Amino acid sequence: MITTGLFSQRFWLSLAFIGPLFFFLSCTQTKVEPETQKTSQSKQETSEETPSARVILFLGDSLTAGYGVSRDQAFPHLVEKKLNEGPLAPVRIVNGGQSGSLSSSALQNLEFYLNRLDPALIVLTLGGNDARQGTDPQIIRENLAQALRRAQEANKKVLLGGMQIFPNLGPEYTQAFAQIYPDLAREFSIPLIPFLLEGVAGEHEFNQYDGIHPNELGHKKIAQHILPFISEALK
C-alpha cells in the first residue's frame, strides 16, 4: 500500500508538471507558424508590387567618377536622380568611372561588370586621357571597338559618349581624335552623344581650377545635356 500510494503521488505530480508544459509548447507552435507565413506572404507581395530597377552602367575616367566633387554630385548620380523622377523609373546607376582610365582598360572593366551585373544600358565615355598623352587615334579607336564588340556579343545596349581634345596637339590630331566616335557609332549602329562636355569644356564657370574637370555646376550641365540621349536609349 505504501508503494502504491507513493507511485500514485509521483504520477499525479508528473502530470501536473507535464500538462502545463505541453500546453505551453502547443501554444508557442501555434503562434509562430502564422507569423512565419504572414512574413513570407508579405515579402512575396512586396516583390510582386515593386519592379526591379534597370541598371545603367557608366564606364569612364575621372570625368565620370566625379573627380573633385562628391560622388553624389557627379553627373551619373544626377542622371539617376532625374530618371527616377520620371516614367522610366526605377533606374539604378553604377558608376564605373576610374580616374586615369585609358581606352585600353575599356574591355577589362566591361568584363568585370558583366560578370556581376545585367545592365540595361552601358554608357561608354573613354579616350580623353589617351588623347592628352598623344596616343595614336587608331589605337584608341581599336581599344573602344573591342569593348563595343564584347557588349554587343552580350546583347547589351550601348550609348557612346563622344570626346574632343584641345587643339594644342595640332589640327590633324584633333580632327582624327574627334572622328573616332561618330565612326564607331556608325560601325556598330549605336547612338552617340556627339560631345560629352558640350557647353562645359573651356568654360571657366563650369570647371575646376585645372580647367579640365567639371565643378558641381559643370556636372549639372552635363547631366542635363546627356539625359535626353539616355532616356531615348532606354526606350
Q: Which residues are catalytic?
A: 62, 210, 213
State the pairing for strand pair 91-95/121-125: unpaired
3-state secondary structure of 112: helix
Q: How far apart are CA 96 and CA 30, in angstroms?
A: 50
Among 63, 119, 64, residue whose Cα is nearest residue 91: 119
Question: Strand 158-161's sheet: what is its strand order?
Answer: 91-95, 54-60, 121-125, 158-161, 192-193
Measured CA to CA, the distance from residue 187 to residue 133 in angstroms comes to 26
What whole-number distance in Å separates Cα of residue 92 and Cα of residue 52? 9
Cell of 208: 575646376
121: helix, coil or strand?
strand
CB 71 within 8 A of CB 133: no
Contact between residue 103 and residue 144 where contact means Cβ atoms under 8 Å apart:
yes
